């Protein structure tokens, strides 16, 4: 059994949104939808500001017992299929700041269920400053005139991108995926031009010198082979090779994981690589996972399952096909997939 979670990038049909899918999944699970904010970045057109951090509408689906089913969030890389000139959808907005620390403060105090006109009010009380409206944008400045945050209508069709983020599952991965993707297909969701599927595996097993070395050498030395094998989408924008100095240092003999980690963490590893090692190395907050980012976009649980099987073979995880131990045993991915059909 291999514990894994998935991120599947989809696109709602014109006139629909990720909230529609959240409500449909919740209905089938006899659960409910909880609105929250999703944190990400976007390019800035403001001189002197490279990027803005923003909060956008996200939706967590829970079952009748309150257990997580999935989350549906925006993905700023999905743009090609959107009509950027479409008018903002009523009620949809984002909160922006050029300082991630201030944005985290806003996220802590603002209620995502509030409308654009009142969402910044609790933060305004903290700073003792009024929220002003400037050309349809709600703007909060501190007493010295420095901008803390802005609430602005969501740009044209930004409600349509829908990244389905699953909790980690230990078995029956295909069945669980189909419980989320079948409703999406029924509602007319499609695979966007820039789509990918990300697989999140528990980071713990990779905090081992030999296993970490295998991951780095495999994704570095076989990069083009793997991209061809998995059918990586060439239109994905947030992929890249691992740092050359990381590839070089794993070739050395290391007495233990702590020694290797201390040096590897200083090599400039980034989330936006074919394999995201930042959380294995503890240099980025978030879920304790190794994230593989090169699987192609799909709205078919069976197809994603086949890619997952191939990934486990590449990583040579215990119990996966091609690793020590009988392939197809109860702990293998192949055995898991047979049980889902």
Instruction: Quote the pLDDT of residue 285.
Output: 87
Place of tokens 């040096």: 263
Cα separation, 12 vs 19, in Å, equals 9
Q: Parallel, antiparallel, or unpaired: how do β-strands 68-73 and 93-97 relate? A: unpaired
E strands present in the chain: 4-11, 32-43, 51-62, 68-73, 93-97, 131-134, 137-141, 147-153, 161-165, 196-202, 275-276, 289-296
CA separation, residue 316 to residues 206, 212, 270 (Å): 11, 12, 23
Look up residue 13 and give its two tokens: 């049909």
Instruction: Quote the pLDDT of residue 320.
Output: 54
Look up residue 182 and give its two tokens: 């079948």
Nearest of 116, 98, 118 to residue 153 by alpha carbon: 116
Instruction: Quote the pLDDT of residue 42.
Output: 79
DSSP state, residue 128: T
Nearest of 199, 197, 170, 206 to residue 279 by alpha carbon: 206
Instruction: Quote the pLDDT of residue 52.
Output: 86
Q: How many CB atoms are located within 10 Å of the residue 53 CB?
A: 21
Checking phi first, is residue 55 left (phi over 0); if not, alpha (psi -120 to 50) or beta? beta
Cβ neighbors of 224 (< 8 A, separation 6 or more) are none
Instruction: Quote the pLDDT of residue 9.
Output: 98
Cα separation, 303 vs 23, in Å, equals 25
Instruction: Quote the pLDDT of residue 237.
Output: 86
Cα separation, 70 vs 248, in Å, equals 38
- Rg of the Cα atoms in the chain: 21
Residue 42 sits at the vertex; the CA angle it makes with 36 and 47, to the nearest 5 degrees, is 135
Beta bridge partners, 196, equal 296
Nearest of 201, 218, 226 to residue 280 by alpha carbon: 201
CA separation, residue 169 to residues 6, 7, 37 (Å): 9, 13, 24
Residue 176 sits at the vertex; the CA angle it makes with 171 and 180, to the nearest 5 degrees, is 160
Cα separation, 249 vs 166, in Å, equals 34
Residues of the chain with pLDDT under 50: 319, 324-341
Place of tokens 């595996």: 201
Give the start-to-end residue ranges of the domains of the chain. 161-315
């Amino acid at each position: 059994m291999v514990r894994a979670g998935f991120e599947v990038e989809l696109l709602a049909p014109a006139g629909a949104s990720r909230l529609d899918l959240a409500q449909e999944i919740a209905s089938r699970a006899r659960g409910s939808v909880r609105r929250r904010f999703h944190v990400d970045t976007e390019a800035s057109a403001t001189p002197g500001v490279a990027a803005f951090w923003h909060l956008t509408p996200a939706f967590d689906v829970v079952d009748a017992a309150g257990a997580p089913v999935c989350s549906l969030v925006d993905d700023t890389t999905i743009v090609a299929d959107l009509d950027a000139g479409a008018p903002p959808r009523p009620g949809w907005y984002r909160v922006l700041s050029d300082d991630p620390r201030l944005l985290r403060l806003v996220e802590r105090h603002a209620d995502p269920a509030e409308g654009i006109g009142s969402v910044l009010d609790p933060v305004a009380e903290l700073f003792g400053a009024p929220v002003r409206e400037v050309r349809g944008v709600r703007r909060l400045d501190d007493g010295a005139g420095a901008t803390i945050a802005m609430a602005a209508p969501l740009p044209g069709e930004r409600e349509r991108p829908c990244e389905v983020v699953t909790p980690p599952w230990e078995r029956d991965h295909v069945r669980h995926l189909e419980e989320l993707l079948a409703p999406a297909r029924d509602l007319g969701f499609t695979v966007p031009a820039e789509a990918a599927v990300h697989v999140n595996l528990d980071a713990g097993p990779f905090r081992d010198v030999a296993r970490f070395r295998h991951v780095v050498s495999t994704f570095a030395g076989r990069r083009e082979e793997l991209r061809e094998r998995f059918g990586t989408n060439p239109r994905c924008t947030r992929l890249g090779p691992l740092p050359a100095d990381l590839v070089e240092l794993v070739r050395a003999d290391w007495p233990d994981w702590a020694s290797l980690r201390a040096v590897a963490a200083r090599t400039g590893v980034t989330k936006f690589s074919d394999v995201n090692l930042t959380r294995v190395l503890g240099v980025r907050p978030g879920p304790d996972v190794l994230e593989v980012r090169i699987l192609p976009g799909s709205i078919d649980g069976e197809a994603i399952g086949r890619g997952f099987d191939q990934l486990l073979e590449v990583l040579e995880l215990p119990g996966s096909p091609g690793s020590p131990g009988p392939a197809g045993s109860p702990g293998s991915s192949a055995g898991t997939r047979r049980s889902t059909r």
